[in-house]
Amino acid sequence: MGYSLKEHETISEAVQRIALEQIDDALETMGNPEIDQDDRIHESRKDFKRIRGLLRLVRDEIGDEVYKRENACYRDAGHKFAGLRDSAVMIKIVDKLRDKFEDGVATGVFEHLRAHLVNRHKGLSQYLDEQNVIEQVHQAIEKARERVEQWPIEHDDFRALEDGLHRVYKRGRKRFEDAYDDPAPAHFHEWRKRAKYLRYHLDILQPLWPDVLDATEDTLHDLTDYLGEANDYAVLSQLLLSHPQLVTRDADRQILEALLQQQREACYAMARPIGMRVYVEKPEQFVDRIAAYWESWQRAIRHEQDPISTV
């Protein structure tokens, strides 16, 4: 499976291949009862996000009607799994906090909180089983698979990609600025989503210049990891606020909320210099640079095919 362009492959061929590979991987994962339910859901959601990244890259080619229909399909599929995935992440976050701050919190607080979260996770897992949610999503994605060959791709060159790439980079740059102008968790969460889509785009474009784009993708991976961890702390903080029974003493809850805010702000501080490097260019400059990589890549391919005529 390769979430990237290949030599001697048109854009339309690449888009169909990448989409079908991600869909088939999700279908195989969801349909394998030997895989742990949490892992089935986590891996399938990653496939859905990669497909949505691909859709954003070719949005202007396939048109708004197709884009909105397909994006909603994979978005809704992921949302059906989101509650269980989030509940599993909350348990891991509590374990991380306990390992780091156990001495600063009253005895038993982390254990009590963790026990509640584990029971909550089991309840959500049971609900998914009882409602056959995985099977429902599996059927929806099977139907979506049949539509991939009808995705319209007009241009079989960089023109098919440049508008989507420009939009995602521009929106990510704007969300970066918004997040530090008004550092609300929701703003950082929005930035993270845009940065992830850019990461997916550079994965797809990686063959254009592997050394450079691999390094940039690694940098974006670090960025989205920091922003993802910060969002996990924000989600847990909101959970403590809406479910006071998770931590019964006000003093203990205040300590935990202070720790969550501290950890969240530390992640924001780590993300900022990375964002400055990733979004240093204006959107037009960024797209022009990637377009130059594309032309160089295509020239090298033509040279391999006919070294004499391309000298």
Asked whether the predicted pLDDT for residue 277 surpasses 80, the reply is yes
The band of 2, judged by pLDDT with boundaries at 50, 70 and 90, is confident
Mean pLDDT of 149-163: 93
Q: Is the pTM of this model over 0.85?
A: yes
Residue with tokens 């197709």: 66
The band of 311, judged by pLDDT with boundaries at 50, 70 and 90, is very low
Asked whether the predicted pLDDT for residue 248 surpasses 70, the reply is yes
Q: Are 85 and 41 in contact (CB under 8 A)?
A: yes
Asked whether the predicted pLDDT for residue 309 surpasses 60, the reply is no
pLDDT score of 306: 66
Asked whether the predicted pLDDT for residue 17 surpasses 50, the reply is yes
Mean pLDDT of 51-63: 97
Mean pLDDT of 152-172: 95
**In Å, how far are 40, 181, 187, 284 from 220, measured between CA atoms?**
25, 21, 17, 19
Asked whether the predicted pLDDT for residue 154 surpasses 90, the reply is no
Mean pLDDT of 13-41: 96
**In Å, how far are 7, 49, 196, 282 from 53, measured between CA atoms?**
21, 6, 8, 21
The band of 158, judged by pLDDT with boundaries at 50, 70 and 90, is very high
For residue range 291-307, list pLDDT tens digits in order: 999 999 999 998 876 66
Asked whether the predicted pLDDT for residue 279 surpasses 70, the reply is yes
Q: Which of 133-147, 164-178, 204-218, 292-306 has the lowest mean pLDDT?
A: 292-306
pLDDT score of 308: 56
**Rounded mean pLDDT of the chain?**
95
Mean pLDDT of 232-253: 93
Rg of the chain over Cα atoms, rounded to whole angstroms, equals 22
Q: Which long-range contacts (CB under 8 A, 24 or more apart) does 132-139 make?
A: 133/80, 133/81, 134/30, 134/37, 134/40, 134/41, 136/80, 137/30, 137/44, 137/77, 137/80, 137/81, 138/27, 138/30, 138/31
Mean pLDDT of 220-235: 97
> Rounded to the nearest 5°, which phi and psi values hold at 282?
-75, 155
Mean pLDDT of 232-243: 95
Higher pLDDT, 124 or 309: 124
Mean pLDDT of 128-150: 97
